[in-house]
Amino acid sequence: MDKFTVFTAVAAPLIRPNIDTDAIIPSREMRTVSKQGLAGGLFAGWRYREIGSREPAPEFVLNQPAYAGAGILLAGDNFGCGSSREHAVWALREFGIRAVLAPSFAPIFHANCVRNGVLPAELPVAPIAALSAVVEADPVRHVVTIDLEAQEVCAPGAGPFRFAIDAESREMLLGGLDAIELTLKRQPAIDDFLSRDKRERPWIYLT
Amino acid sequence: MAYSPDSQTGADAARVADGTLFDRIWRQHVIAESGRGASLLAVDRIFLHERTGSIALKSLSDRGRTVLDPARVFCTMDHIVDTMPGRGDQTRVPGGSEFITATRAATRAAGIRLFDVGDPDQGIVHVIAPELGITLPGATVVCPDSHTCTQGALGAFGWGIGSTDAEHALATGTLWAHRPRALLVRCDGHLGPGVSAKDLCLALISRYGAAGGRGHAVEYAGSAVTALDIEGRLTLCNMATEFAAMTALIGPDDQTYEYLATRPFAPHAAAWDRAVNHWRTLRSAPDAVFDREISIDATAVEPMVTWGTSPEHAVAVTGRVPEPPSGASREAHQRALSYMGVVPGTPLAELRIDGAFIGSCTNSRLSDLRRAARLVDGRHVAAGVRAICVPGSSAVKRAAEAEGLDRMFRGAGFEWRESGCSMCFYAGGESFGHRERVVSSTNRNFESRQGPETRTHIASPETVAASAIAGRIADVREFFA
């Protein structure tokens, strides 16, 4: 997986609370058993004039020319709530979004981001508003820079602000690490647990 | 103790929440610590379905990995499978049959038990997992599905994960997780006539917000919770994800053991006795300390219905569409009003409906159908209302038919379907219509969730039944007069 270290990109403000994974990618846009081909369905309900069409809705932020190539989303509270569908993160990533800044994230979405090299950075409402104000004045020139090592985000005239991310997720993103590989290194501990647990709770182990 | 999220770290939480039910289950499953705050937990049961399980199995096999212990992994067809009578592998969902055939092939190759289309045990994952005794008290249960928290009703620790974490669980039998804080939701008093578990969780979410449980494992307790049957408890725990909690659970009791005693995948004979002895230790100690506590007076809870596009947009059915608040949520509130086509001040009970849906992992079990059927029996759905009832599992459907509930629904003008998630969400196939107003026993009222621009009002199955008959959102208690 790609490492996430320092990232600079156009940032798009989409500041509404409770943006759910149905909004990020509607179920109707998940048409094959694949992690690819999902970017076209990203925010489909808001991005296109009507359901089923691909005609851009001009007012939607990601359709505005100034936000072309956006790589960062500035968002509201409880971002990514709802369905566990990892397709939401796959669609964001394929579209080019590498980081979401929000006051809080839904837990499953947060984990899905980290598994796919997308940074979920927690930042309070006020600094997000400050970044948005600067960005909206000139989205193309006022790009946002995120430094994960330093846990800071800034834009010309705003910040730097320190954002929050748990140590585990930070490490995984910085190193581009694969969780399964890391876990398999713990095999002796897993084996010890299983041999003990099979004696203590035999009914758990089906044959 | 006072709730102060900013001063709480995982280490603090571990110290103060000693002695809770969740704490006991968590500690039983810790294999290792990362040293950076996460714990490696043993996963006892993994469920998959054709929507998100198919991709997890495919990705696992593409990477040359295998399922560690297929005997503890189960899969069902619920999300995409058609619910029309006489169904097969064809669905109205674009690309849907590929999900079904891919899931069938992948589960066969991995040696995983599949509850396939036509299997007598097929059904919605969160309905069949308890029904078959696959979920057990004290067990860790994961599924790439956000409503896995439902399983906590049996005293299990169930949580929803993404497909990549499902791969991890399949390959290693473990998952990394951060320990949530412990939140006690105490519901004392008793639910009145026409008020059920769905109303209780909507009341909670409307009061504390759709992010109100974030970072927490909820334990539901109190007289109104112990009075619920297991199916009501499943409804209550189901919507913990709409509360942004990692999970919810209820201490197992004699009702739990009675429910599980004859289930096919539950332990039997000597193993059963031993398991029950262990399960009886699974309760919060009288002096257990929670990180946070909430009290709800169940007696004061009224039938609830949502007016907007978040589960937190819920009011009593006797209430009115609220005015937009000042502050940060004003714009979202106004957007919800506009999407839903409702005006502040309008009584909910004046809203005419086009559709009524009874089903989903929240409210599709036998007791749900019984309560709804009793209301529609001998009456008829109002003109112009399309009403649908989708049992949560094939077993629920058979049991309902054995006691004649299907005849009551059909006689009242409801469609009677095969089991599955059905129109809880629109996946490009079946849906309610453009801007149609639907009252639904499901869990999400997001924009276009049930159809293109469909306006969903979430409520209990009895409120859905009463509304279908009235042709408008209705207070079920009017039917008792």
Three state DSSP letters for A158-191: EEEEECECCHHHHHHHHHCCCHHHHHHCCHHHHH
Q: Answer whether B426 sits within 8 Å of A28, measured CB to CB.
A: yes
Report strand pairing: A99-102 vs B30-33: unpaired
Summarize pLDDT for B24-45 with one digit per residue, the tens: 999 999 999 999 999 999 999 9
Catalogue the long-range contacts made by A27-32 (C-beta closer than 8 Å, 24 or more residues apart): A27/A83, A27/A85, A27/B425, A27/B426, A27/B427, A27/B428, A28/B93, A28/B94, A28/B426, A28/B427, A28/B428, A29/A87, A29/A91, A29/B428, A30/A85, A30/A87, A30/B51, A30/B427, A31/B94, A31/B95, A31/B428, A32/B95, A32/B98
Summarize pLDDT for B235-277 with one digit per residue, the tens: 999 999 999 999 999 999 999 999 999 999 999 999 999 999 9
Q: Would you say B370 and B401 are in contact if contact means Cβ atoms under 8 Å apart?
A: no
Parts of chain A with a pLDDT under 50? none
Q: Answer whether A33 sits within 8 Å of B44, measured CB to CB.
A: no
Summarize pLDDT for B349-360 with one digit per residue, the tens: 999 999 999 999
Summarize pLDDT for B129-151 with one digit per residue, the tens: 999 999 999 999 999 999 999 99
Q: Give the ranges where B132-242 is alpha helix by DSSP (H).
A: 163-172, 197-208, 223-226, 230-238
List the single residue in B139, B312, B331 with the smallest CB-CB distance to A16: B331
Residue B101 structure tokens = 């055939």
Chain B residues with CB under 8 Å of A168 CB are 34, 36-38, 176, 178
pLDDT value of position B18: 73
Q: In the predicted model, what is the mean pLDDT of residues B355-372?
A: 98
Q: In the predicted model, what is the mean pLDDT of residues B186-196?
A: 98
pLDDT value of position A52: 84
Is 90 exceeded by the pLDDT of residue B3? no
List the single residue in A52, A108, A189 with the smallest CB-CB distance to B162: A108
pLDDT value of position B5: 34
List the single residue in A33, A85, A204 with the smallest CB-CB distance to B98: A33
Q: Answer whether A111 sits within 8 Å of B146, measured CB to CB.
A: no
Task: Return all residues near A112 (Cβ < 8 A) that are at least 6 apart.
Answer: A80, A84, A86, A88, A89, B162, B164, B165
Q: Answer whether A107 sits within 8 Å of B214, measured CB to CB.
A: yes
Enumerate the domain spans of chain B. 41-175, 304-480
pLDDT value of position A1: 80
Q: Answer whether A16 sits within 8 Å of B59, measured CB to CB.
A: no
Is 70 exceeded by the pLDDT of residue B8? no
Chain B residues with CB under 8 Å of A47 CB are none
Chain B residues with CB under 8 Å of A194 CB are 42, 173
Helix, strand, coil percentages in chain B from 3-state DSSP, rounded to 5: 40, 20, 45
Assigned fold of B41-175: Aconitase; domain 3 (3.30.499)
A86 touches chain B (CB under 8 A): yes
By mean pLDDT, which of A59-73, B1-15, B192-206 is the weakest? B1-15
Structural class in CATH, domain B304-480? alpha beta
pLDDT value of position B97: 95
Q: Do domains B41-175 and B304-480 have the same CATH topology?
A: yes
Q: Answer whether B426 sits within 8 Å of A85, measured CB to CB.
A: no
In a mutagenesis test of the B interface, which of A25, A36, A86 is the best target, namely the one with the most B β-carbons within 10 Å?
A86
Q: Answer whether B210 sits within 8 Å of A107, measured CB to CB.
A: no
Q: Answer whether A31 sits within 8 Å of B178, measured CB to CB.
A: no
A162 touches chain B (CB under 8 A): no
Task: Return all residues near B462 (Cβ < 8 A) that are at least 6 apart.
Answer: B194, B196, B303, B371, B372, B375, B476
Summarize pLDDT for A7-31 with one digit per residue, the tens: 999 999 999 999 999 999 999 999 9
A184 touches chain B (CB under 8 A): yes
Task: Enter the pTM of the model.
Answer: 0.95
Residue B406 structure tokens = 């299907």
How many Cα neighbours within 13 Å face the side chain of B311? 31
A33 touches chain B (CB under 8 A): yes
Q: Which residue of A has its CA nearest to B265?
A: A206
Domains and CATH numbers, chain A: 6-177 (3.20.19.10)
| Shortest Cα–Cα distance, A122 to chain B (Å) | 13
Residue labelled with tokens 């109205």:
B92
A183 touches chain B (CB under 8 A): yes
Q: In the predicted model, what is the mean pLDDT of residues B50-76?
A: 96
pLDDT value of position B480: 85
Task: Please tell me whether residue B141 adopts helix, strand or coil conformation.
Answer: strand
CA distance B351 to B98: 40
* Residue (of A50, A43, A45) closest to A73 by Cα position: A43
